[in-house]
Amino acid sequence: MKTCVDIVIEDDRWTAFGLDAAAMAAACATLSHLGMSPDLYGLVVMGCDDARIAGLNGEFRDKPRPTNVLSWPSEERGSEYAGEAPEMPEPGTPEDPAPLGDIAIAWETCAREAAEQGKTVHDHVMHLLVHGVLHLLGYDHIDEDDANLMEETERQILASLGIADPY
């Protein structure tokens, strides 16, 4: 099963990294873990640099500085109750997948964080892609109970991909 992941490359380092395959693997693993059929959903992943993500972070979050990953869900999906999983969106069809939203990921910040944390860039980026897909699905980490749920879900998905606990 494949999900419809559209890739936008604004920094060629993402092409060399293999962002298309990484995004597909992260999205499929996340959706499958949650009991969703990956071929019935779609999302966009943009690989950019720190300057571009700083502009987006300033525009959308009023924080004009680089960050590792940003996400824009196609609709609000969060649960009303702290620590409760959000309700999953209705599926589309393979011909017309339900849109989940957009993710942007910044090369320099990801590479720097991976080095600082003693992780491979691949494993760190996979974690951030899974994290971004979960945000598109309504998961969040503002409240402690929500953060615990999101982190545990990330751990399980990453383990299914052979990636060690990032926390």
* Residue 4 banded pLDDT, cuts 50, 70, 90: confident
Residues 6+ positions from 32 with CB-CB distance below 8 Å = 1, 38
pLDDT of residue 119: 96
**Taking the model in full, what pTM does it have?**
0.96
For residue range 14-66, list pLDDT tens digits in order.
999 999 999 999 999 999 999 999 999 999 999 999 999 999 999 999 999 99
Residue spans of the domains in the chain: they are 4-78+92-160
Distance separating alpha carbons of residues 87 and 16, to the nearest angstrom: 36
Distance separating alpha carbons of residues 44 and 6, to the nearest angstrom: 5
- The pair of structure tokens assigned to 148 is 């615990």
| Residue at 145: amino acid letter | D
Q: In DSSP terms, which residues pair with 114 in a beta bridge?
A: none
Q: Are 131 and 154 in contact (CB under 8 A)?
A: yes
Cα angle: 136, vertex 140, 143; to 5 degrees = 165
What CATH architecture does domain 4-78+92-160 belong to? Answer: 3-Layer(aba) Sandwich (3.40)
Is 33 a known ligand-binding residue?
Answer: no
pLDDT of residue 156: 98
For residue range 104-147, list pLDDT tens digits in order.
999 999 999 999 999 999 999 999 999 999 999 999 998 999 99
pLDDT of residue 1: 54
**43: phi > 0 → left, psi -120 to 50 → alpha, else beta; which?**
beta
**CA quadruple 134, 135, 141, 147: dihedral, nearest 10:** -10
